[in-house]
Every structure is written in C-alpha cells, then in structure tokens.
Amino acid sequence: MSDKPETVVLPDSPDAAQLKTVTGWVSRHGLFYGKDEIQARYDGCTHVKCSECGVVVEKGYTACEECREKFRIVREADRKREEWDQETPLYSEAYSEYLMDFDEVEDYLDQHECTFEHLDAVLCEKNEARIELDHFGHLLGDDYDDAPKELTDAIDAFNKAMSGIAISWSATDVVATCKELQPEDLRVRGMPRAK
Ligand SMILES: [Zn+2]
C-alpha cells in the first residue's frame, strides 16, 4: 500500500467529469468512428471500386465478377496437380463431398451425370492418432524428464501401433486428376455442375 492519501472525487465534483465537444467521423448510418475516416466512409457506402479495374461493385466484394473469375483461374492454374492413385480418398470441392474409393467416385459421377473434372476433386491426407508427452503436461509440471518410463513407453507403443492408420481424412490443396474417368466423349461443355 502506498502512503499517499487517496484522492476522493464525488460524482458532483467538477473533477469527476466535464462536458466536452468531440469531433469525429460519423457514417451515413449514424455510427461514430472518431478519427477513423476510412472505416466511417466504408460503413456509409453501398458500393466500392474493383481493386483491379475500378468498376463499381457492391460493397462486400473487393473486385468485380470478371476480375474475381480472372483471379480464380490464375489461382487454379497455380495449384499442384497429381494423378489419383484410385485408392486415396478424394474431396469434391464442387459438391462439398468426401468420396472414399473408386467405386464411390464412379457412382457419384453416374448419379450426378458429370465428369471427374466437374468434381473439382482434391486428394485427401490421413489423420493419424498420435499422443505427445505434452498431452500430460498439466500433470507432469515443468520437468518432463521426470515422467515415469511406463508412461513414455506406453506413449511410444501407442504411437507405433497407430502409425500409418487413418482414423479420418482431411482434404489437401492438391488437385486430383484421373485419366481413367475422363473419357474424351464425356468432356462436353455445359454438363450439369454444382454451385
Ligand atoms: Zn474488376
């Protein structure tokens, strides 16, 4: 405790508060933004200019539809592609659907009358079950070196037993290609497509 006597300020004291005139930016919706002119203007606007070509677009987008499509094509072309081994599960970005094996993919294409290309399929990767000593950190305290050997042995045995076993799958960013499911005669423009 400090020896300095605490100052007492009652609510009716002039020191408690003063009436001041405050200047700041107020948006068209009546929201006060203080010095933040940019945010106030953004709140009050209905449209913005495309960051690429300057065309006026609805607020919420940063680029016009044409430029967004241009960006999408560039992004798509930059993605890594890999021929599917026909065993690794796939994730269809177009249909938001996991497809676990070749038969399931074939059935799906039949049902939706689309080609493999239309799935926008990416390869999945395994999620393995693994335990780290950290998992018991709250019980072990700071010094993991004192962890009982039985615990570290059990963790090693668990990790060894689960190694290579998929307990679930996650989509990666690698686009899957599949020559077998892309017969020339099916590559027709205007096929039904999700989205
Ligand atoms: Zn544009």
Distance 79 CA to ligand 1 centre (A): 23
CB 91 within 8 A of CB 124: yes
Per-residue pLDDT at 183: 57
Distance 2 CA to ligand 1 centre (A): 63
d(CA 168, CA 129): 9
Per-residue pLDDT at 187: 45
CB 93 within 8 A of CB 176: no
Distance 48 CA to ligand 1 centre (A): 11
Distance 120 CA to ligand 1 centre (A): 25
Distance 137 CA to ligand 1 centre (A): 52
Distance 52 CA to ligand 1 centre (A): 5
Per-residue pLDDT at 142: 78
Distance 43 CA to ligand 1 centre (A): 21
Distance 46 CA to ligand 1 centre (A): 17
Per-residue pLDDT at 189: 42
Q: Which candidate, 76, 188, 175, 179, places its Cα nearest to that of 123? A: 175
Distance 154 CA to ligand 1 centre (A): 59
Q: Which candidate, 94, 99, 150, places its Cα nearest to that of 117? A: 94
Distance 49 CA to ligand 1 centre (A): 8
Distance 69 CA to ligand 1 centre (A): 9
Distance 68 CA to ligand 1 centre (A): 7
Question: Over the range 56-76, which residues count as b (16 or more CB within 10 Å of their CB) and which as e?
Answer: ebeeeeebbeebeeeeeeeee
Per-residue pLDDT at 185: 46
Domain boundaries, the chain: 20-78
d(CA 39, CA 33): 7
Per-residue pLDDT at 144: 84
Per-residue pLDDT at 4: 76
Q: Which residue's structure tokens are 């938001």?
A: 96
Residues in the chain: 195
Per-residue pLDDT at 2: 55
Residues of the chain with pLDDT under 70: 1-3, 183-195
Distance 146 CA to ligand 1 centre (A): 62
d(CA 26, CA 44): 9
Beta bridge partners of 175: 81, 122
Distance 168 CA to ligand 1 centre (A): 41
pTM: 0.59
